[in-house]
Structure 1
Amino acid sequence: MSVIGLDLGNQSCFVAVARGGGIETVANEYSDRSTPSIVSLGPKQRFIGSAAKQQVVTNFKNTATNFRNLLGLKFSDPAVAHELRFSNFSAEETQDGDVGIHMEYLGEACVFKPEQVVAMLLTQLKKVGEMNLSGKVSDCVISVPCFFDDRQRRALLDAAATAGLNCLRLMNDTTATALAYGIYKQDLPAPEEKPRNVVFVDMGNSALRVTLASFIKGKLKVLATAWDSKLGGRDFDERIQKHFNEEFKNKYKVDASTKPRPRIRLSQESEKIKKLMSANTTPIPMNIECFMDDKDVTAKMKRSEMEELCADLLARLEVPMKKVLTDSGLSPKDLYSVEVVGGSTRVPAVRDAIKRVFGLELSTTLNQDEAVARGCALQCAMLSPTFKVREFKVEDVVSYPIRLTWKPSCEEEEAEMDVFPPRQAYPYSKMLSFFRREPFFIHAQYADGGHTDPNIGRYTIAKVVPTSEGEASKVKVKVRVNIHGIFNVTSAVLVEKITAEDAAAEPEDSTAGEPSGEAATSETQNGAPEGDQPMDVDETPATEATDSASAPAAAAEDASGNGDDGSKKSESEPPKKKVKVKSHDLPIDARVEGGSTHEALTRLIERENEMISQDRLEKERADAKNAVEEYVYEMREKISSTLSDFISGPDSEKFSAALTACEDWLYEEGEEVSRQIYVDKLGELQKTGEPIKMRARESSERQPAFDTLGKTIVHYRKILSLCGGKDEKYEHLSADDIKSVAGHVEAKQVWMHERMAEVAKLNKFDNPPFLSTAILTEKTALENLCNPVVNKPKPKVEPPKDAKPAETAPAPEAAATAEQSQPAPATANIDADLD
């Protein structure tokens, strides 16, 4: 089973694989370990990754960049408008309110969902993994920005499924970095010691993420995470771009913002000059030829000027870094180190800002570009049964607090409860107890107030009925944030009490202290990975669970005398009856925000497979065309040089004309034809060209083949000469044996002389009457006929019956003594390092 980790970046991606020797970041077909996050659609096929990079300027309308962060967003979300500032494609709102990316494919205008475009990129990354592993890739772990919510995570899972990938986990990118850092550390504190606290700052192309994690031996625990999803390297590029555009407007009277192609070129040059300024303090020049209106432009910028332009951006860097310290309750003196990753952390001003906040020198023990991919590959190996990895537990935290709301009854207002507070560890489950007489719904939403649309989903618990006495039934609902960081209601159970006077009573699930009205209480289960048996922990206080809904419920219990909320029960109350508890699974109708239905996902997969097939057919067609073009150029050069002796003058002129005609056809009506036509055209040329190649090849191989046969004949003639001289080695051969070998040798000698005479009469441009392989076949036949005769073993000679044995075997006792006297073989103990 192949194991890969994918760092799905907004600007570039990395693929890491797990092999027997460890984790390795692999290169794509261009021998580059970085694959650009670019998808370009051509009239016949798609260009993805490195192949699409050159299309950004020439085919900008059909080239998608900066599309990852559009996953799962509604078109009305303000984040969409921010992302589209950095994109060149046109976007529109679809019928269901999602983002539609408008591009042309196969000559038709198409609207693609961001999930489809991301799936195209994942398909290319999958190919990179398969190319390096020489096998199919299915299971993977994909990095995800820690600020992605449920909708965006569901959309990314849909994209992975569309690309044919089985995503074992969506892993927060900073958590993957922390795993890549901690799993190799041999000096981590013991569990009973004070943990090691490390800050990870990841600033990439589009966002800044900061995570504070604690490490002990065998465990990583994320304490706090903060981010600025609108602060990345591209924001610095934009400031530089605007500065130069204003300078060019004043100096050259050209405005790059009015036309897409100059704007793209200026953006690319701005990114280059930013990188150069990060390594140099001297002014860096910018020169662009034929920028606009056939004008060449030039300008300069110093690092200090860039820092002045981006002063407000640099000030924003400190906000998330200070927030992780506040949320974790730690101070800079509690930190062990600060690890920086991401391309934008190479900017000196960014590094200075990080130092100011944490007061520590920055550590770069990790590869700034590949750490996330390596962490994802490690996590995939840990989740895969194929690899044995050192035990290392990863405990992440939810990005946003989650609140549940429900109606205690039809007449009452909604009640609510924060079921997953900020920095709650996950995977994690909680069991909620509701007391209902009829079906009800639970509404999940984010409680932080930072979302334009905080809704996560609505879950209807069906087939809830009252007890036989007409009272509210107890319904236990399990909610969970799974390994991907996605919330869901996983199960609902109706608990039925059956009175049994004479039966042995079974323990009842937490009936004491729970109201019998329509309220809810909660139990929690800790975050074991999916599929593991969770471990019970302490229940949360009843007041936290019941909230405002508990009061009317308690009043109802007081009136009925069945409550246990502090009121005194009647002294004449009869003893409790023995009860049995029976559970019934209840259906859940989940209507979640984001994610595709099964039918919609099936259509996406079919569409992606169709495009993959089209890409394959177009590649085969292009390969067939290239084969014709290559053959034309090859034969035209060779028939006038190395192959000129093997084709007659008239035939050479005729073949040269055919090659020229084929070349003209290739660049005219043969520019866009089917693969089969190219195959047929190549076959026509090969009918003339391949015999020429064959004659040249035979001319070089024929004489060595004759020499090999001649040496074999000489070999057997020497043996016949030895036989005539009564050589001891061959004296056992009979006269018939010698005669047989002599006949075979003489026949092959005659055959060789006749063939050599035939060849001597031929011109070089004539087809030979036989091939050199026939000569080698005759040589092999001669060996097969003669070797069994000349290598016949001598007959064994029986010794005389009265002869004494040459040596006497030692007595058994002597043999045993000699055996005991031999030294014992040396042994060595080998300790295997199981880690």
Structure 2
Amino acid sequence: ESPCLLLMRRCLKWRFHGRAFNDPFVQKEKEKLSYDLVPMKNGGVGVKVMYMDEEHIFSVEQISAMLLTKLKETAESNLKKPVTDCVISVPSFFTDAERRSLLDAAQIVGLNCLRLMNDMTAVALNYGIYKQDLPAPEEKPRIVVFVDMGHSAFQVSACAFNKSKLKVLGTAFDPFLGGRNFDGKLVDYFCAEIKSKYKLDPKTKVRALLRLYQECEKLKKLMSSNSTDIPLNIECFMNDTDVSGKLNRSQFEELCADLLQRIEMPLLSLMEQTQLKVEDVNAVEIVGGATRIPAVKERIAKFFGKDVSTTLNADEAIARGCALQCAILSPAFKVREFSVTDATPFPISLLWNTEAEDTEGVHEVFSRNHAAPFSKVLTFYRKGPFELEAFYSDPNGVPYPESKIGKYVIQNVAAQKDGEKSKVKVKVRVNTHGIFSVSTASMVEPVKSEECEDVSVETEVEAQDQRPIENFKPPSEENKIPDTNEKKGDQPPEAKKPKIKVKNVELPIEANLVWQLGKDLLNMYIETEGKMIMQDKLEKERNDAKNAVEEYVYEFRDKLSGPYEKFVCEKDLQGFSALLAETEGWLYEEGEDEAKQVYVEKLEDLKKLGTPIEMRYQEAEERPRLLQELGHRLQYYATIAGEFRNKDEKYIHIDEMEMMKVEKCVSEVVEWMNNAVSAQAKKSLDQDPAVHSSEIKAKLQELNNVCEPVVTQPKPKVDSPKEENPLSEQSDYKTEDMGEDDKNSEMPQQNGECHPSDQNTINMDLD
């Protein structure tokens, strides 16, 4: 089975995926972090940390892989089975570079990411799959707008619902507006107040600033449900100084007025993209922690002119949507069918160079909010290899400094045998992860045959758009696309041409992407992650061994002054107590960080003294019960032997020799038991016992094995004498045809006084 894994993001490391270290966003966020960011050799973002007492630099992909490893272990621990499949949610504004980087992180861990799912699509799936009142497919769809303001981003989407069907109509976002921005306003306010009131600057100490952020976040949540003044108190904030302050909701909204104004922009953008009116929206669902702020909720409700709905779990809606999507895609779960059609967040275009002239051709292959996943087939006429460059058509609308997606070189293209240009079909695709790619390329080679019909081997798995590309700028002969709408009937009559059979020859594609980990680097990360996972296991075993010693010390020390006190002599008690105290001190000093084997040996040394004491206590608890049980069995078998000697009918069927075995065994065990009890009575509690529980159990088992089969012998069956029935030969006599009265009067009665035939003889007068 392949259980699903749900993932959500709050940590900003997710926002560093696919970005260069010199990215303006990274440099801006770098100042607010408590850890150090450094450049990697490939120009990416690295995090400097101390690992195994050494300084290491890990890439963002590796850091995310560590988080995924922990989530994987947690899921496996709860599910009690291995986790292989997962669905990971990403902001809908993530670009191809960011998505590919996150997929690399999943690959490092060994997770099979079935889909990178946009946050708002996951929310919509969570909403729609449980709705039983959705309109039928042929009816007008229900339009629902989903609004999500989480920790660091604001996203909105409009979705159309029909029964078992969901289509994302459009998305809009503000990638830099979220709950942390509201927290930042509070932090700035209290930093200024603390500086003027206490002459302390929290921004000079990272630890103090982090504490202030935590308290401000709590204050923000309290103000969401209270309009009165809310106090803020932090003990030993800086230089052992306690600080305090207060704020109310009205003051908070004034501080955040500029942030609240930014809420309407994505909403307006969404309505313009989808050409929807406010009246067309049937419901507005809000999720995300920051939507609990009353002012945020009011702004959204005011824009749509209706109350917002909070039927979804604000914190778990995305994770639940991912879980449902993973269950749908995974063969291990059976989920009712639900079609999900996502939307492409940014328009994507292709650029290429022409052969005849020094000009470029460009075409927008996927418009904004185009259905995804989706494939298109483009046709080119070339004599040699050529290059395609993919880029985002609207760089200003993409929250990423680089508009290029990548370059793709179509290789092994050659002219036809007659020197004409070859027809090359290129398939471009936005896959289920929302990533663009030139997936396949093939060269069409004609094979003349007068008897064959036209054949074109074109099999497309996903929905495709094979309409001709129009409006190339400038148009060129080599890129001319034949008019597929041209009808054969419009052609002038000509001499019959030989029919042509074509075959498609697959062409290799060399991809140069803006951001992609090389295979060697990725393999190195996978190997490093495996080593760290193994090191974590070894470290866990070491800690478990250390904890076992610590637990043994505390547990035994308490029992020595309690239940174990009577079972150890004064001399041994003093020596063992001293050893326990010595071990405790060692654990917190030079034994703080030792190897696993050292702790194992320490525990063995303690058990050499502790195990005999523990054994004596357990023997004293268990021995009386077993002796009592043995005595009861002896009495039981002795009673049966006595009844046998008294000729009791219950045991008269037992053989004399077998019963003698029982009596002999009982006698021997009684003698052994008396000797054992007598020997044990001479021993004190702090001495090893004269007889052990295991010996008593063995004697009890021996007694039962000898005696039980004898005394439980069943009596032999005695066959009763058969009686002749004179009516058995009268085949015409059938009792089943008689009524109850007839049976009682005509059936022969046997009362034991005479033979049945005597009573059935009837004397008749024939006169």
TM-score (norm 1): 0.84
Of the three residues 519, 533, 540, the one matched with 2:467 is 540
Deviation (angstroms), 1:326:
1.3
In 2, Cα distance between equivalents of 1:728 and 1:387: 66
Which range moved further: 99-108 or 804-813?
804-813
Residue aligning to 1:832: none
In 1, Cα distance between equivalents of 2:516 and 2:539: 32
The one-letter amino acid of 1:3's match is P
Residue aligning to 2:453: 505
Residue 729 (structure 2) pairs with residue 780 (structure 1)? no
Contact 1:435/1:474 (<8 A) preserved = yes
Residue aligning to 1:671: 592
Of the three residues 217, 232, 244, the one matched with 1:271 is 217
Residue aligning to 1:426: 372
Residue aligning to 1:830: none
Contact 2:380/2:480 (<8 A) preserved = no
**Structure 1 residues 288 and 814, CA, compared in 2 at 3 Å: closer, same or farther?**
farther
| Structure index of larger Rg | 2
The one-letter amino acid of 1:726's match is K
Deviation (angstroms), 1:816:
12
Question: Aligned runs of 1:427-826 on 2, under 5 Å?
Answer: 427-450=373-396, 451-500=400-449, 502-507=450-455, 533-535=461-463, 539-544=466-471, 546-550=472-476, 575-800=496-721
In 2, Cα distance between equivalents of 1:805 and 1:722: 46
Residue aligning to 1:358: 304
Provide Cα deviations, 1:357-394, integer angstroms capped at 9, x if missing partner.
11111111111111111111111111111222111100
Question: What SS does the aligned partner of 2:627 have?
Answer: helix
In 2, Cα distance between equivalents of 1:809 and 1:601: 98
Provide Cα deviations, 1:774-811, integer angstroms capped at 9, x if missing partner.
21221121111111111122222233366669999999
Contact 2:380/2:478 (<8 A) preserved = no
**Structure 1 residues 722 and 477, CA, compared in 2 at 3 Å: closer, same or farther?**
same
Contact 1:70/1:83 (<8 A) preserved = no
Contact 1:205/1:343 (<8 A) preserved = yes
Residue aligning to 2:41: 95
Residue aligning to 1:191: 137
Contact 1:5/1:374 (<8 A) preserved = no
Which range moved further: 165-174 or 320-329?
320-329
Question: What SS does the aligned partner of 2:470 have?
Answer: helix
**Structure 1 residues 160 and 535, CA, compared in 2 at 3 Å: closer, same or farther?**
closer
Deviation (angstroms), 1:182:
0.3
Which range moved further: 99-108 or 800-809?
800-809
In 1, Cα distance between equivalents of 2:57 and 2:507: 40
In 1, Cα distance between equivalents of 2:156 and 2:658: 91
**Structure 1 residues 418 and 805, CA, compared in 2 at 3 Å: closer, same or farther?**
farther
Deviation (angstroms), 1:415:
0.6
Deviation (angstroms), 1:627:
1.1
**Structure 1 residues 594 and 716, CA, compared in 2 at 3 Å: closer, same or farther?**
same
Question: What SS does the aligned partner of 2:467 have?
Answer: coil
The one-letter amino acid of 2:122's match is A
Provide Cα deviations, 1:412-468, integer angstroms capped at 9, x if missing partner.
211100001111111100001000001101111111112421111111111111111
In 2, Cα distance between equivalents of 1:261 and 1:727: 90
Which range moved further: 434-443 or 727-736?
727-736
Question: Aligned runs of 1:369-384 on 2, under 5 Å?
Answer: 369-384=315-330
In 1, Cα distance between equivalents of 2:365 and 2:257: 40
Residue aligning to 2:168: 222
Residue aligning to 1:125: 71
The one-letter amino acid of 1:89's match is Y
Residue 46 (structure 2) pairs with residue 78 (structure 1)? no
Provide Cα deviations, 1:30-89, integer angstroms capped at 9, x if missing partner.
xxxxxxxxxxxxxxxxxxxxxxxxxxxxxxxxxxxx211101111222221343344211
Question: What SS does the aligned partner of 2:413 have?
Answer: coil
Contact 1:621/1:674 (<8 A) preserved = yes
Provide Cα deviations, 1:556-582, integer angstroms capped at 9, x if missing partner.
x9xxxx99999xx99897543322212
Residue aligning to 1:252: 198
The one-letter amino acid of 2:467's match is T
Q: Matched residue pairs, number?
A: 734
Which range moved further: 778-787 or 103-112?
103-112
**Structure 1 residues 563 and 158, CA, compared in 2 at 3 Å: closer, same or farther?**
closer
Contact 2:384/2:415 (<8 A) preserved = yes
In 2, Cα distance between equivalents of 1:729 and 1:806: 40
In 1, Cα distance between equivalents of 2:423 and 2:8: 45
Deviation (angstroms), 1:648:
0.6
Contact 1:748/1:782 (<8 A) preserved = yes
Deviation (angstroms), 1:814:
7.9
Question: Aligned runs of 1:293-442 on 2, under 5 Å?
Answer: 293-409=239-355, 411-442=357-388
Question: Aligned runs of 1:121-270 on 2, under 5 Å?
Answer: 121-270=67-216
The one-letter amino acid of 1:543's match is E
Question: What SS does the aligned partner of 2:298 have?
Answer: helix
Residue aligning to 1:50: none
Which range moved further: 296-305 or 786-795?
786-795
Which runs of 5 or more residues in structure 1 are unaligned? 12-65, 510-522, 526-531, 819-835
In 2, Cα distance between equivalents of 1:783 and 1:694: 27
Question: What SS does the aligned partner of 1:326 have?
Answer: helix
The one-letter amino acid of 2:668's match is A
Deviation (angstroms), 1:506:
1.6
Contact 2:381/2:480 (<8 A) preserved = no
Question: What SS does the aligned partner of 1:289 have?
Answer: strand
The one-letter amino acid of 1:631's match is Y
Deviation (angstroms), 1:632:
1.2
In 2, Cα distance between equivalents of 1:371 and 1:748: 71
Deviation (angstroms), 1:751:
0.8
**Structure 1 residues 287 and 802, CA, compared in 2 at 3 Å: closer, same or farther?**
closer
Deviation (angstroms), 1:773:
2.3
Contact 2:5/2:85 (<8 A) preserved = no
Deviation (angstroms), 1:248:
0.8
Contact 1:438/1:463 (<8 A) preserved = yes
**Structure 1 residues 790 and 564, CA, compared in 2 at 3 Å: closer, same or farther?**
closer
In 1, Cα distance between equivalents of 2:260 and 2:731: 95
**Structure 1 residues 308 and 612, CA, compared in 2 at 3 Å: closer, same or farther?**
same
Which runs of 5 or more residues in structure 2 are unaligned? 740-767
Residue 34 (structure 2) pairs with residue 8 (structure 1)? no
What percent identity do the matched residue pairs reach? 46
Which range moved further: 655-664 or 669-678?
655-664
The one-letter amino acid of 1:340's match is I
Provide Cα deviations, 1:679-717, integer angstroms capped at 9, x if missing partner.
000000100001101101111111111000000001111
Provide Cα deviations, 1:168-192, integer angstroms capped at 9, x if missing partner.
0000011001001000111000111
**Structure 1 residues 814 and 488, CA, compared in 2 at 3 Å: closer, same or farther?**
farther
Contact 2:378/2:469 (<8 A) preserved = no
Contact 1:381/1:387 (<8 A) preserved = yes
**Structure 1 residues 273 and 586, CA, compared in 2 at 3 Å: closer, same or farther?**
same
The one-letter amino acid of 2:515's match is G
